[in-house]
Amino acid sequence: MKQIIALAKKDLRLMPRNKAGMFFTFAWPIVLMVLFGF
């Protein structure tokens, strides 16, 4: 379990550097909801 938490923390620290990753994590689900009318 500690390994999973460490991996998640590492990914969260690296995410602000990766603009495409940020888009697909946060904006893309919102775009899909708007397109499909939720």
Q: Structural domain boundaries of the chain?
A: 2-36
User: 16: Cβ–Cβ under 8 A, 6 or more apart, which residues?
Assistant: 22
pLDDT at res. 33: 93
pLDDT at res. 34: 93
pLDDT at res. 24: 83
pLDDT at res. 19: 82
Does the predicted TM-score (pTM) go above 0.85?
no
Helix (H, G, I), strand (E, B) or coil at 38: coil
Please answer whether residues 17 and 10 qualify as being in contact, where contact means their C-beta atoms are separated by less than 8 angstroms.
no
pLDDT at res. 36: 94
User: Which residue from 36, 10, 38, 11 is spatially nearest to 25, judged by alpha carbons?
Assistant: 11
One digit per residue, the tens of pLDDT, for the chain of length 38 reads: 999 999 988 888 887 787 888 888 888 999 999 999 86
